[in-house]
Structure 1
Amino acid sequence: MQLTRLPQNVLDVGTGTGIWAMDFADQFPSAEVVGTDISPIQPAWVPPNCKFEIDDAQMPWTWSVNHFDFVHIRNLHGSISDWPALYAQCFRHTKPGGLIEELEFDIATKSDKVGPDHVFVQWNNLFAECGEKMGRTFKVAAQMKQQIIDAGFVDVVEKKWKVPIGEWTSDPKLKLVGQYTLLFLDQSLEGFALYMLKEIMGWKYDEIQVLVAKMRQALRDWRLYPYYEITLVYGRKPEGS
């Protein structure tokens, strides 16, 4: 997204490690960047124009109305119980003419080479069910454009990309992306599954390990051309609103 004016007040909702907020603060030294999260895992050494606050984005926001030039959200799928309420707060606290941007990845591992009984489909369905049981959907990527429009933002744009898993693509840049993606997923599968399937679905430990092993094997099968999708949505609060 191209910024049409230099932002002065920027909010990173669910900042996590704070890496986006710090990078943005470095790139725009005149901006004041605030990153919020319920977990205090951000570093202490940060740019002078960046700060972090412990805050639950689902609670009523305490900032002034029409305060932020830019609100950024990324990878909060499975974390929010009421997305329309979150977008309504974003709209209320964004200045007229200010921007919202959200990037989410689809948790569904995809392949055009597998059938409905494949482990990819089983994994995807299980996590979708977990999200519904928790009341915190993992399907936000498919819903956020319309919900951001419903909140009142205009000129809303949606863009989608396929991200390869593994080295099967011939494009050198995407091949590197695929290497890192496979590494990330390989190291994360067990952690994802142990919490979701054990705590939410009531699976036994051995059952989870079998499913994780099948997923790891399938992700490494380049003949399947596995990938997932990321979705970017951005829009603007109307002037005079």
Structure 2
Amino acid sequence: MAEHASISPVATEQGQKAPTQGTHLVADESDADSAIGDDDDDSIRQYRVENGRTYHSYKDGQYAYPNDEAEANRLDLQHHLYNLTLDGKLFLAPIKKDSQNVLDVGTGTGLWAIEFADEHPSAVVIGTDLSPIQPTFLPANVTFLVDDAKEPWVFKERFDFIHTRQLHCAVEEKKLMKQALRNLKPGGWLEMQETSTPIACDDGTMTPDHAVHKWTHFMLEASKRIGQSLDNPPKYAEWMQGVGFVNVQHVVYKWPCNPWPKDKKHKTLGLWTLVNAQDGVEGFTMAMFTRVLGWQPEEVQSFLVDVRKDLKNKSIHSYVTVNIVLGQRPE
């Protein structure tokens, strides 16, 4: 839960600012117990149905999380969680107020793109995603496209700002960074907002015997098997520098897994993180465990009963690490 001002002042020669873990979380002991044709448009909306959830049909199987109404609602809730974390800000990059062209990669329900467009009426905002789950009634300066960020980018314009959030095994991050660099205007910014796995704990209250500990390591194992490891985000700053970005910064926040911290803001973040996790844990897990690890759906559901219990347990002081990494294309 680092505040933006708590970025370490120590910088490398390339200008990367070292990340900080921020304020140490203190437990609240008082409650410790407690762009396509019509035919293509029709086909991409014929979603894959699997274990009671729907998944994108365009580039079927590339992204392991659902795209149904339950997941859309969770994505909107997650957007609120990011807003709480950043004190109402949509991003940290020092972009120009009159930015003209903005790209939101993996836009999901499009809420970030819509809010950015409302706040920046001079900007033209494009949101891309594998699923057309965005609303129909939009600000005039927003367009949504069904697109695969892993394919070569063919945008006619270059962008002042490119934003990504929670792409979770959907992209090859280094390739995305290279494509972003090529598609930014000189001086433009890329900002990637991403949680990393495994879930962490600083005081030993989460042990290897806990289901939530096992779950987070199973998720990491599955992601590594498909070559898109969920522990990559802490490496983003180094990777951005490696492909040519300058003024790279890495800001670290923490989301408590439930309202266990004593601090009021952290407790609120914990409450929203718990709701987000309880609503999303089945969607996060089912395809990764069944497609990649070979579990049966019934095994997954049984296992998640104990995972949910651990997520609610205030005596387990676990948290999710949030990485916000930004870099600038050289002038």
3-state SS of paired residue (2:321): strand
Cα contact 1:15–1:21 (8 A) shared by 2: yes
Would you say how many aligned residue pairs link Structure 1 and Structure 2?
237
Establish whether residue 147 from structure 1 lines up as the match of residue 232 from structure 2: no
TM-score by length of 2: 0.68
Establish whether residue 29 from structure 1 lines up as the match of residue 121 from structure 2: yes
Amino acid at match of 1:106: S
Q: Distance in 2 between matches of 1:192 and 1:131?
A: 11
1:87 is aligned to: 177
Please tell me the root mean square deviation across aligned C-alpha atoms, in Å: 1.5
CA drift of 1:237 comes to 0.5
Q: Distance in 2 between matches of 1:193 and 1:157?
A: 31
Q: Distance in 1 between matches of 2:97 and 2:246?
A: 17
Q: Distance in 1 between matches of 2:173 and 2:272?
A: 30
Cα contact 1:77–1:139 (8 A) shared by 2: no
Equivalent residue in structure 2 for 1:104, among 149, 169, 194: 194
1:93-151 superposed Cα distances (whole Å, 9 cap, x missing partner): 10001111010011322223223343233112211111122222222312211111112
Establish whether residue 48 from structure 1 lines up as the match of residue 140 from structure 2: yes
2:318 is aligned to: 226
Q: Percent identity?
A: 37
1:77 is aligned to: 168
Q: Distance in 2 between matches of 1:32 and 1:140?
A: 31
Cα contact 1:154–1:235 (8 A) shared by 2: yes
2:159 is aligned to: 68
Range moving further from structure 2, 85-94 or 204-213: 204-213
3-state SS of paired residue (2:138): coil
1:202-236 superposed Cα distances (whole Å, 9 cap, x missing partner): 11233222321111111111011221110001111
2:206 is aligned to: 114
Q: Distance in 1 between matches of 2:188 and 2:285?
A: 39
Q: Distance in 1 between matches of 2:265 and 2:174?
A: 36
Q: Distance in 1 between matches of 2:297 and 2:128?
A: 34
Amino acid at match of 1:55: D
CA drift of 1:199 comes to 1.8
Q: Distance in 2 between matches of 1:13 and 1:30?
A: 20
Range moving further from structure 2, 124-133 or 167-176: 167-176
5+ long unaligned stretches in structure 2: 1-91
- Mark the CA change 1:104 to 1:110 in structure 2 (over 3 Å): closer, same or farther: same
5+ long unaligned stretches in structure 1: none
2:303 is aligned to: 211
Cα contact 2:95–2:188 (8 A) shared by 1: no
1:137-216 paired onto structure 2 within 5 Å: 137-216=229-308
Amino acid at match of 2:117: A
